[in-house]
Structure 1
Amino acid sequence: MNPMIDEPLERLRAAARRTRELALKRAGTGLGHEDADDDVGTIGTDGALGFDPFPLLEALHRHGVRAAVIGQVAGIMHGSTELTGDLDLLWDGEPVHAPALAAAFMSVDARLSDETGAPMATHPDALLRPKVQFTAPGASGDCCTPALPWGNLRVREILDRAVTAYGPGALEVHYVSREDLIRMRRAIGRPKDLRRAAELDSLAPDLRMIRRTPDSRQFRR
């Protein structure tokens, strides 16, 4: 029997590895993360092929980017068992922070596009949109700011409450809290979001993460 995986980044590594293994067993679909089914999610798209969010997460850390993981990657870090094929990010959208984000994307050869799929230069100004789509080796997804319509959610406060997981080599990965991720899921309201919110709501808080001082720190910007 496999030992229980109880660290957020270890859970994510195991899930990404499982995603790659499953994707190898099927043919490509021709679908990108933006084409994901509202029930199945991006595990059914070509984003699952070779899915590995760590090169980009490491680049974000290396460039000092103030961004938090949202979506199902954050869900996995909190203990969700559903797999995903994309990586979604939330940052504050402040122009002063855009150059570091652009540098991180460029360092992993990421390509940017707007919400219609039109290509954009990987330039700080392009990232000031409420949302841009990115495609990088290993991971694709949405990079969002609080300017995106979020309904009644106080997204800047959600970003301020993000927590930090620590990995080998002093890696730091910021991700939204379990409670805030549940709120975000319910606000979006797609079948997969409601299902995943219910799963997260059923999980007890990760007590081991809370006990370990570094892993329980909030993301201070």
Structure 2
Amino acid sequence: MIDEPLERLRAAARRTRELASNRAGTGLGHEDADDDVGTIGTDGALGFDPFPLLEALHRNGARAVVIGQVAGIMHGSAELTGDLDLLWDGEPAHAPALAAAFVSVGARLADETGTFLPAHPDALLRPKVRFTSPGAGGDCCTPALPWGDLRVREILDRAVTAVGPGGLEVRYVSRDDLIRMRRALGRPKDLRRADELDSSAPDRRG
């Protein structure tokens, strides 16, 4: 049985590609995203398809959890996105699998200044690494990144799993934790999306 969250994500990625195909390139990457519009307004939306990387993460046994708006879509958000953000525990023993996944899809890594990094496990031990791949770019973060009062390791422990065709498993942050992360970031798009998820939560409807 195909999990509904992954079907929602496939449909949203398809709509994103269709929308982006009807406009000129912006020259903006995901790091240039407007705090209100988000990455749907950048070139990250062109050809957006997170599934090759999600499949590579699964295939290589990488312990990464989807956060950001891709997780929001999996929880039912109607807003589109053009990037894929990931969170992992930052443990050196888990870095090789993550690096192998990135290498297998031809991803390029960079630090927060945009300086390219070797696709090596040690490069991923930074609090945040940017990545670009043919289908999706975004941030790959660890609990070492400042997250305010959030207990990020507990968020990783509470992640949920969606199962797709061929046994694909995608771990993504829980709805309540995603709302907390959104409110902690506090940008207009985060607060709007937190309100959307909060108002559509099963225990708040009807």
Q: State the TM-score, normalized to the length of structure 2.
A: 0.97
Q: Deviations over 1:60-91 (max 9, x none)?
A: 00000111000000000000000000000000
**Alignment-mate amino acid for residue 103 of structure 2:** M
Partner of residue 47 from structure 1, selected from 20, 44, 47? 44
2:70, 2:202 → 1: CA distance? Answer: 17
Q: Deviations over 1:101-158 (max 9, x none)?
A: 0000000000000000000000000000000000001100000000000000000000
Partner of residue 37 from structure 1, selected from 34, 37, 44? 34
Structure 1 residues not aligned, in runs of 5+: 1-5, 207-221
1:204, 1:149 → 2: CA distance? Answer: 27
Partner of residue 181 from structure 1, selected from 169, 178, 195? 178
Show the counterpart of 1:58. 55
Show the counterpart of 2:116. 119
Q: 1:14 to 1:66 in 2, by over 3 A?
A: same
The runs of 4+ residues in structure 1 deviating greater than 3 Å are none
Q: Deviations over 1:35-63 (max 9, x none)?
A: 00000000000000000000000000000
Q: Is 1:167 paired with 2:164?
A: yes
Show the counterpart of 2:80. 83
RMSD across aligned positions (CA) = 1.2
Show the counterpart of 2:136. 139
2:202, 2:84 → 1: CA distance? Answer: 23
Q: Is 1:205 paired with 2:202?
A: yes
Partner of residue 68 from structure 2, selected from 68, 71, 79? 71
Alpha-carbon deviation of 1:190? 0.1
Structure 2 residues not aligned, in runs of 5+: none
Q: State the TM-score, normalized to the length of structure 1.
A: 0.90
2:90, 2:20 → 1: CA distance? Answer: 34
1:104, 1:115 → 2: CA distance? Answer: 20
Partner of residue 91 from structure 2, selected from 70, 87, 94? 94
Partner-residue secondary structure (3-state), 2:137: strand
Partner-residue secondary structure (3-state), 1:139: coil
Show the counterpart of 1:24. 21
**Alignment-mate amino acid for residue 116 of structure 2:** P
